Amino acid sequence: MSLVLTLVARRDATTLDAATIALARDIVDGTQPPTVLSPEEAVDIPCPPSAVDQLPALRKALADKPIDALLTHQAARRKLLLVSDMDSTIVANETLDDLASHAGIGEKIAAITARSMNGELDFATALKERVALLKGLPASLMEKAWQDVRLNEGAKALVQTMRAHGAYTALVSGGFTFFTSRVAELCGFQENHANTLLTAHSTLTGETGHPILGPDTKLELLTALAQHHRLAPEQTLAIGDGANDLPMLHKAGLGVAFFAKPIVRNAITAQINHTSLRTALFAQGYPVTLFSGD
Protein backbone atom coordinates (compact mmCIF):
# COMPACT_ATOMS: atom_id res chain seq x y z
CA MET A 1 0.00 0.00 0.00
CA SER A 2 1.35 3.41 -0.96
CA LEU A 3 2.39 5.79 1.80
CA VAL A 4 2.46 9.53 2.31
CA LEU A 5 5.26 11.36 4.07
CA THR A 6 4.05 14.49 5.83
CA LEU A 7 6.66 17.11 6.75
CA VAL A 8 5.72 19.85 9.20
CA ALA A 9 7.94 22.70 10.35
CA ARG A 10 7.62 24.54 13.65
CA ARG A 11 6.25 27.89 12.53
CA ASP A 12 7.96 30.09 15.11
CA ALA A 13 11.42 28.62 14.47
CA THR A 14 11.85 27.79 10.79
CA THR A 15 10.22 27.42 7.40
CA LEU A 16 9.86 24.38 5.22
CA ASP A 17 11.99 25.35 2.23
CA ALA A 18 12.35 23.75 -1.19
CA ALA A 19 15.77 22.28 -0.41
CA THR A 20 14.50 20.46 2.69
CA ILE A 21 11.48 19.13 0.82
CA ALA A 22 13.70 17.90 -2.02
CA LEU A 23 16.08 16.22 0.43
CA ALA A 24 13.22 14.39 2.13
CA ARG A 25 11.72 13.35 -1.19
CA ASP A 26 15.03 11.89 -2.32
CA ILE A 27 15.54 9.93 0.90
CA VAL A 28 12.09 8.29 0.77
CA ASP A 29 12.05 7.90 -3.04
CA GLY A 30 9.06 10.17 -3.44
CA THR A 31 6.90 9.07 -6.35
CA GLN A 32 5.07 12.34 -7.09
CA PRO A 33 5.57 16.09 -6.58
CA PRO A 34 4.74 17.30 -3.05
CA THR A 35 1.35 18.71 -2.18
CA VAL A 36 1.46 21.89 -0.12
CA LEU A 37 -0.83 21.70 2.92
CA SER A 38 0.31 24.99 4.46
CA PRO A 39 2.82 27.27 2.69
CA GLU A 40 6.31 26.96 4.21
CA GLU A 41 4.85 24.84 7.01
CA ALA A 42 3.54 21.50 5.79
CA VAL A 43 3.64 19.25 2.71
CA ASP A 44 2.60 15.75 1.69
CA ILE A 45 5.02 13.60 -0.34
CA PRO A 46 3.62 10.36 -1.84
CA CYS A 47 6.13 7.52 -1.50
CA PRO A 48 6.45 3.73 -1.79
CA PRO A 49 6.11 1.26 1.11
CA SER A 50 9.91 1.10 1.33
CA ALA A 51 9.85 4.61 2.83
CA VAL A 52 9.24 2.97 6.22
CA ASP A 53 12.81 1.70 6.15
CA GLN A 54 14.12 5.15 5.27
CA LEU A 55 12.36 7.01 8.07
CA PRO A 56 15.28 6.76 10.55
CA ALA A 57 17.66 8.13 7.91
CA LEU A 58 15.26 10.97 7.16
CA ARG A 59 14.93 11.91 10.82
CA LYS A 60 18.70 11.86 11.15
CA ALA A 61 19.03 14.16 8.12
CA LEU A 62 16.53 16.56 9.70
CA ALA A 63 17.99 16.32 13.22
CA ASP A 64 19.17 19.94 13.28
CA LYS A 65 15.80 21.30 12.13
CA PRO A 66 12.55 21.57 14.15
CA ILE A 67 10.64 19.54 11.57
CA ASP A 68 8.41 16.52 12.17
CA ALA A 69 8.12 13.70 9.64
CA LEU A 70 5.20 11.25 9.76
CA LEU A 71 4.35 8.37 7.45
CA THR A 72 0.73 7.37 6.89
CA HIS A 73 -1.13 5.06 4.51
CA GLN A 74 -2.88 6.77 1.63
CA ALA A 75 -6.06 4.81 2.33
CA ALA A 76 -8.33 6.01 5.15
CA ARG A 77 -6.11 8.97 5.96
CA ARG A 78 -8.89 11.08 7.43
CA LYS A 79 -9.85 9.37 10.64
CA LEU A 80 -13.41 9.19 11.89
CA LEU A 81 -12.61 8.67 15.57
CA LEU A 82 -10.23 10.64 17.78
CA VAL A 83 -9.36 9.42 21.27
CA SER A 84 -6.86 11.67 23.00
CA ASP A 85 -5.05 11.79 26.30
CA MET A 86 -5.30 15.12 28.18
CA ASP A 87 -2.30 15.91 30.39
CA SER A 88 0.79 16.97 28.41
CA THR A 89 -1.17 16.27 25.23
CA ILE A 90 -4.27 18.42 24.85
CA VAL A 91 -3.12 20.62 27.71
CA ALA A 92 0.43 21.66 28.52
CA ASN A 93 -0.03 20.70 32.16
CA GLU A 94 0.11 17.64 34.36
CA THR A 95 -2.96 18.67 36.32
CA LEU A 96 -2.33 16.46 39.35
CA ASP A 97 1.19 17.89 39.60
CA ASP A 98 -0.23 21.42 39.42
CA LEU A 99 -2.72 20.58 42.15
CA ALA A 100 0.13 19.27 44.29
CA SER A 101 2.17 22.43 43.67
CA HIS A 102 -0.62 24.54 45.15
CA ALA A 103 -0.53 22.21 48.15
CA GLY A 104 3.22 22.65 48.57
CA ILE A 105 4.07 19.04 47.69
CA GLY A 106 4.64 19.48 43.97
CA GLU A 107 8.10 17.97 43.67
CA LYS A 108 7.13 14.88 45.64
CA ILE A 109 4.14 14.10 43.45
CA ALA A 110 5.84 15.11 40.19
CA ALA A 111 8.57 12.54 40.83
CA ILE A 112 5.96 9.77 41.10
CA THR A 113 4.20 11.06 37.96
CA ALA A 114 7.42 10.97 35.97
CA ARG A 115 8.14 7.37 36.98
CA SER A 116 4.60 6.33 36.08
CA MET A 117 4.65 8.03 32.66
CA ASN A 118 7.99 6.41 31.91
CA GLY A 119 6.53 3.00 32.68
CA GLU A 120 8.57 2.50 35.84
CA LEU A 121 5.51 2.24 38.12
CA ASP A 122 2.16 0.55 37.70
CA PHE A 123 -0.31 3.32 36.83
CA ALA A 124 -2.96 2.47 39.43
CA THR A 125 -0.39 2.17 42.20
CA ALA A 126 1.22 5.47 41.25
CA LEU A 127 -2.16 7.21 41.16
CA LYS A 128 -3.14 5.92 44.59
CA GLU A 129 0.21 6.99 46.07
CA ARG A 130 -0.12 10.51 44.68
CA VAL A 131 -3.75 11.01 45.61
CA ALA A 132 -3.13 9.74 49.16
CA LEU A 133 -0.70 12.63 49.66
CA LEU A 134 -3.58 15.06 49.06
CA LYS A 135 -5.65 13.79 51.99
CA GLY A 136 -7.02 16.58 54.17
CA LEU A 137 -6.28 19.39 51.75
CA PRO A 138 -9.05 21.83 50.73
CA ALA A 139 -10.96 20.88 47.59
CA SER A 140 -10.68 24.50 46.51
CA LEU A 141 -7.13 23.70 45.39
CA MET A 142 -8.64 22.10 42.29
CA GLU A 143 -10.04 25.45 41.21
CA LYS A 144 -6.66 27.06 41.76
CA ALA A 145 -5.00 24.37 39.64
CA TRP A 146 -7.59 24.92 36.91
CA GLN A 147 -6.45 28.52 36.59
CA ASP A 148 -3.02 27.21 35.51
CA VAL A 149 -4.35 24.98 32.73
CA ARG A 150 -3.35 25.99 29.21
CA LEU A 151 -4.38 24.30 25.98
CA ASN A 152 -1.58 23.20 23.70
CA GLU A 153 -1.37 24.88 20.31
CA GLY A 154 -3.68 23.24 17.83
CA ALA A 155 -5.88 21.48 20.41
CA LYS A 156 -9.08 23.25 19.37
CA ALA A 157 -8.20 23.02 15.70
CA LEU A 158 -7.63 19.27 15.94
CA VAL A 159 -10.92 18.51 17.65
CA GLN A 160 -13.10 20.98 15.80
CA THR A 161 -11.69 20.24 12.35
CA MET A 162 -12.17 16.52 12.76
CA ARG A 163 -15.70 17.04 14.07
CA ALA A 164 -16.50 19.33 11.15
CA HIS A 165 -15.56 16.47 8.82
CA GLY A 166 -17.61 13.79 10.51
CA ALA A 167 -15.30 12.39 13.17
CA TYR A 168 -16.33 11.51 16.72
CA THR A 169 -14.04 12.81 19.46
CA ALA A 170 -13.35 11.63 23.01
CA LEU A 171 -10.99 12.90 25.70
CA VAL A 172 -9.65 10.26 28.09
CA SER A 173 -7.32 10.77 31.03
CA GLY A 174 -5.83 9.03 34.00
CA GLY A 175 -6.39 12.39 35.70
CA PHE A 176 -9.67 13.71 36.98
CA THR A 177 -13.12 14.57 35.67
CA PHE A 178 -12.92 18.00 37.34
CA PHE A 179 -10.40 18.91 34.63
CA THR A 180 -11.43 16.72 31.69
CA SER A 181 -15.01 18.03 31.71
CA ARG A 182 -13.76 21.61 31.40
CA VAL A 183 -11.07 20.86 28.83
CA ALA A 184 -13.55 18.85 26.76
CA GLU A 185 -15.93 21.82 26.73
CA LEU A 186 -13.15 24.23 25.73
CA CYS A 187 -12.03 22.09 22.81
CA GLY A 188 -15.34 20.60 21.72
CA PHE A 189 -14.80 16.93 22.59
CA GLN A 190 -18.10 15.04 22.48
CA GLU A 191 -17.34 13.02 25.58
CA ASN A 192 -14.72 12.77 28.29
CA HIS A 193 -13.58 10.08 30.71
CA ALA A 194 -11.29 10.26 33.74
CA ASN A 195 -10.99 9.34 37.40
CA THR A 196 -12.98 11.00 40.16
CA LEU A 197 -11.16 12.79 42.96
CA LEU A 198 -13.28 12.21 46.08
CA THR A 199 -14.12 14.97 48.54
CA ALA A 200 -15.97 15.18 51.83
CA HIS A 201 -16.98 18.43 53.52
CA SER A 202 -15.00 20.46 50.96
CA THR A 203 -11.86 18.45 51.74
CA LEU A 204 -9.94 15.95 49.62
CA THR A 205 -10.24 12.46 51.08
CA GLY A 206 -7.02 11.13 49.53
CA GLU A 207 -8.97 8.60 47.48
CA THR A 208 -10.40 8.21 43.99
CA GLY A 209 -13.60 6.64 42.80
CA HIS A 210 -13.46 3.09 41.43
CA PRO A 211 -12.68 1.53 39.08
CA ILE A 212 -9.48 3.44 38.33
CA LEU A 213 -9.18 4.53 34.73
CA GLY A 214 -5.79 3.47 33.40
CA PRO A 215 -4.15 2.14 30.23
CA ASP A 216 -6.52 -0.79 29.78
CA THR A 217 -9.54 1.49 30.10
CA LYS A 218 -8.16 3.83 27.44
CA LEU A 219 -7.77 0.89 25.08
CA GLU A 220 -11.25 -0.38 25.91
CA LEU A 221 -12.74 3.05 25.20
CA LEU A 222 -11.05 3.25 21.80
CA THR A 223 -12.30 -0.23 20.92
CA ALA A 224 -15.83 0.36 22.20
CA LEU A 225 -16.23 3.69 20.38
CA ALA A 226 -14.94 2.21 17.14
CA GLN A 227 -17.43 -0.64 17.42
CA HIS A 228 -20.28 1.69 18.34
CA HIS A 229 -19.63 3.90 15.33
CA ARG A 230 -18.97 0.88 13.10
CA LEU A 231 -15.45 1.93 12.28
CA ALA A 232 -12.53 -0.25 11.25
CA PRO A 233 -9.33 0.13 13.30
CA GLU A 234 -7.63 1.98 10.44
CA GLN A 235 -10.25 4.74 10.73
CA THR A 236 -9.17 5.66 14.27
CA LEU A 237 -6.64 8.11 15.68
CA ALA A 238 -5.19 8.07 19.20
CA ILE A 239 -2.78 10.62 20.66
CA GLY A 240 -0.84 10.52 23.92
CA ASP A 241 2.51 10.98 25.60
CA GLY A 242 2.88 8.51 28.46
CA ALA A 243 3.27 4.80 29.10
CA ASN A 244 -0.41 4.49 30.02
CA ASP A 245 -1.28 5.59 26.47
CA LEU A 246 0.69 2.83 24.76
CA PRO A 247 -2.10 0.23 24.45
CA MET A 248 -4.45 2.62 22.66
CA LEU A 249 -1.63 4.06 20.51
CA HIS A 250 -0.74 0.55 19.34
CA LYS A 251 -4.39 -0.30 18.60
CA ALA A 252 -5.38 2.82 16.65
CA GLY A 253 -5.07 3.05 12.89
CA LEU A 254 -2.82 6.02 13.56
CA GLY A 255 -1.26 6.25 17.00
CA VAL A 256 0.66 9.49 17.53
CA ALA A 257 3.24 10.06 20.25
CA PHE A 258 3.06 13.73 21.20
CA PHE A 259 6.24 15.11 22.84
CA ALA A 260 6.27 11.69 24.41
CA LYS A 261 8.30 10.00 27.11
CA PRO A 262 11.23 7.84 25.90
CA ILE A 263 9.35 4.57 26.42
CA VAL A 264 6.63 5.81 24.07
CA ARG A 265 8.98 7.25 21.43
CA ASN A 266 10.78 3.92 21.34
CA ALA A 267 7.54 2.08 20.64
CA ILE A 268 5.52 4.38 18.38
CA THR A 269 6.65 5.37 14.88
CA ALA A 270 4.35 8.36 14.30
CA GLN A 271 5.79 11.14 16.45
CA ILE A 272 5.26 14.86 16.99
CA ASN A 273 8.45 16.06 18.66
CA HIS A 274 8.85 19.62 17.40
CA THR A 275 5.56 21.04 16.21
CA SER A 276 1.98 21.24 17.47
CA LEU A 277 -1.26 19.30 17.43
CA ARG A 278 -1.92 20.88 14.02
CA THR A 279 0.45 18.20 12.74
CA ALA A 280 -2.10 15.49 13.56
CA LEU A 281 -4.37 17.20 11.04
CA PHE A 282 -1.69 17.57 8.40
CA ALA A 283 -0.88 13.86 8.84
CA GLN A 284 -4.47 13.15 7.81
CA GLY A 285 -4.07 15.21 4.66
CA TYR A 286 -6.01 18.25 5.83
CA PRO A 287 -4.82 21.50 4.23
CA VAL A 288 -4.71 24.49 6.56
CA THR A 289 -7.58 26.07 4.61
CA LEU A 290 -9.91 23.46 6.11
CA PHE A 291 -8.91 24.02 9.72
CA SER A 292 -11.58 25.05 12.21
CA GLY A 293 -10.93 26.40 15.71
CA ASP A 294 -7.58 28.04 16.52
Would you give the distance in Å from CA 44 to the centre of its chain?
Answer: 21
Catalytic residue from among 12, 64, 68, 87? 87
H or E element, residue 203? strand 203-208
Q: How far apart are CA 84 and CA 174, in angstroms?
A: 11
Q: How far apart are CA 240 and CA 173, in angstroms?
A: 10
Across the beta sheet with 35-38, what order do the strands follow? Answer: 35-38, 42-47, 3-9, 67-73
Strands 168-176 and 42-47: unpaired
Amino acid at 158: L
Q: Verify whether residue 85 is a known catalytic residue.
A: yes
Would you give the distance in Å from CA 98 to the centre of its chain?
Answer: 19
Q: Verify whether residue 17 is a known catalytic residue.
A: no
Catalytic residue from among 85, 98, 241, 245? 85
Active site residues: 85, 87
